[in-house]
Amino acid sequence: MTTKNIDFQTDVYGADFPDILMRSSRQVMSMYADYPDGLYYSMHHHLPCQFFYASRGVLTVKTEKGTWIVPQSHAVWIPSNTSHQVLSPHHLTLRNIYIRPGAAPNLLNECAVVTMPPLLRELTVYAADFATEYSTDSHEERVIGIILDLLQQLETVPFLLPSPRDRRLQVITSALLDNPGDTRTLEEWGQKAGATSRTLSRLFRQETGMSFKQWRQQARLMEAIVRLTSGESVNLIALNLGYNSVSAFVAMFRKHMGITPGKYIDRNEFTHLEKTPRPE
């Protein structure tokens, strides 16, 4: 990992930032980090809340509740002391904002993928250049105040893939996370998991709020987003994810994302934002 090392920013690594914030007099700190070979943070937690946005790459975030995929057009919110794992298999560029608990009254209290309004995106990129101990009543503090205001108005999106507790369902969901293109029916999975399809169907709805087919489709959608961002062709993605035709895959993607895979690529291909120049 590399951090942006510029005259007015302390060069510290992301793992140190939560502790630095809690030892400081600031309510919010922001940082920039680049991971050319991808990222893997094992399960961990920290006292500050965390908001992070990838201007390059796609994030996968896991908690005890499930798995989130975070496309470039979105961001993720992690509440205080929430255990989470963060990973990305490809080149990743992150902007992280750490927020002291209680810094604002209406922050989200659950982990979520959220929309990234243009103003918040620009300010998140811009604030990553701020020194860790910016002055009170300064330009930096006023920008942070706007960010805090915007963070209280985040809109969540349903990019969660819920994790079941039942071990029989875990056999199925773990295998599908490894290979979302697996086309086995619930009856066939029942032979492997040791339960009838009727029992498994009931458990899926009870523990995930989704049917088996809905859960698998969500897993495929999330995997498709990762593959599209890594440059894989739509034809190959459709084949690898178990669709009978490219048109069937495109129809599924458009239904859930509102645009075709091709338009999604066009929209996100050139969103790797550069630093906004600091005013004199």
- Burial (CB count within 10 angstroms: exposed 0-12, middle 13-18, buried 19+), residue 61: buried
Closest CA to 15 of 35, 26, 77: 35
Is residue 4 scored above 50 in pLDDT?
no
Across the range 8-20, mean pLDDT stands at: 55
* Residues of the chain above pLDDT 70, percent: 90
What is the distance between the alpha carbons of residues 195 and 249, in angstroms, rounded to a whole number? 30
Tell me how many degrees the CA angle 127-132-137 measures, rounded to the nearest 5.
75
Contact (Cβ atoms closer than 8 angstroms) between residue 55 and residue 272: yes
Give the chain's domains with CATH numbers: 2-157 (2.60.120.280), 164-267 (1.10.10.60)
Model confidence, pTM: 0.77
- Burial (CB count within 10 angstroms: exposed 0-12, middle 13-18, buried 19+), residue 102: exposed
Mean pLDDT for the chain overall: 86
- State pLDDT tens for residues 118-154: 999 999 989 988 877 788 889 999 999 999 999 999 9
Q: Are strands 59-63 and 66-70 parallel, antiparallel or unpaired?
A: antiparallel
Question: Which pLDDT does position 247 carry in this prediction?
Answer: 96
What is the distance between the alpha carbons of residues 43 and 60, in angstroms, rounded to a whole number? 12
Q: Which amino acid is at 159?
A: F
Question: Which pLDDT does position 146 carry in this prediction?
Answer: 95
